[in-house]
Copies of this chain bind each other. A is one copy, B any other.
C-alpha cells in the first residue's frame, strides 16, 4: 500500500538492522486518517469473506482494528495479555513470547465472544517473528471459529513469522512488507507479491 510505504519512509526511524520505530503514526501516536485508509484496504482485500468479527491483541492493535471494523460493520474483540478480576468464566487462552519485552505471557479471550458461528479476521500492527499472530490463530482454532486470514499493517519480511504462518495455509495480507533496512539506506520494501 503506497500510502503506508511512503509514510514509513518519511516518518519511520530505523535503529540497527531490525528495529523500525513508527511510534509517530502507528503505535504510540496514532494517525486515525491513515488508519481509515488502511481499514478500507483491508476491506478491499477481504471483501469476499463474510467476516463476522475482527480479533486483535492489546494494546497497539486495538486502534487499527476498531477503525477497520467500521469498514466491515462488525465488532472487534481484543485478546487480553493477563487475566484480570473483571474477566470471569471460561476463556480461550494461548501463550505468546514477546521478543520486545523478553518474556512469555498468556493471552485470553472470553468464550462468550468467539465461537463456531464466527468468521474471524485477525488484525495487528506488526508481524515479525509471528508470536502474537500465532497466539491469535490458536485462540481462533480453539474457539471453533473459521479463520479468514490476517491483515497486518507492517510485516518485517526478513523475519520468519510471515513465511511460517503462510506456510501453514493461513492467508496473511500485509500492507507494507519490509524487505530489509539499515540506518544508512533506510527501508526497502518487497515488491508486490515478492516474498
Which of B23, B59, B75 touches A31 (beta carbons < 8 Å)?
Answer: B75
Q: Nearest chain B CB to A133's CB is how many angstroms away?
A: 18
Which of B29, B58, B75 touches A32 (beta carbons < 8 Å)?
Answer: B75
Report whether B23 and A110 are in contact in the complex, using a CB–CB cutoff of 8 Å.
Answer: yes
CA distance A101 to B70 in the complex (A): 31
Residue A87 at the B interface, CB < 8 A? yes
CA distance A141 to B60 in the complex (A): 24
Please, what's the 1-or-0 string for A53-83, where 1 marks a CB less than 8 Å from any CB in chain B? 0000011101111110110011111101000
Which of B30, B70, B80, B85 touches A75 (beta carbons < 8 Å)?
Answer: B30
Within 8 A of B (CB), among A80-95: 80, 84-88
Where chain A touches its partner, the secondary structure class is mixed
Residue A28 at the B interface, CB < 8 A? yes
Q: How large is the interface on A (under 10, 10 to 19, 20 to 34, 35 or more residues)?
A: 35 or more
Residue A165 at the B interface, CB < 8 A? no
CA distance A30 to B67 in the complex (A): 11
Report whether A86 and B62 are in contact in the complex, using a CB–CB cutoff of 8 Å.
Answer: no
Q: A62-B63, A86-B19 are in contact. Are A32 and B69 (CB under 8 A)?
A: yes
List A residues at the B interface (Cβ < 8 Å).
15, 19, 21, 23-25, 27-33, 35-36, 58-60, 62-67, 69-70, 73-78, 80, 84-88, 100-101, 109-110, 112-113
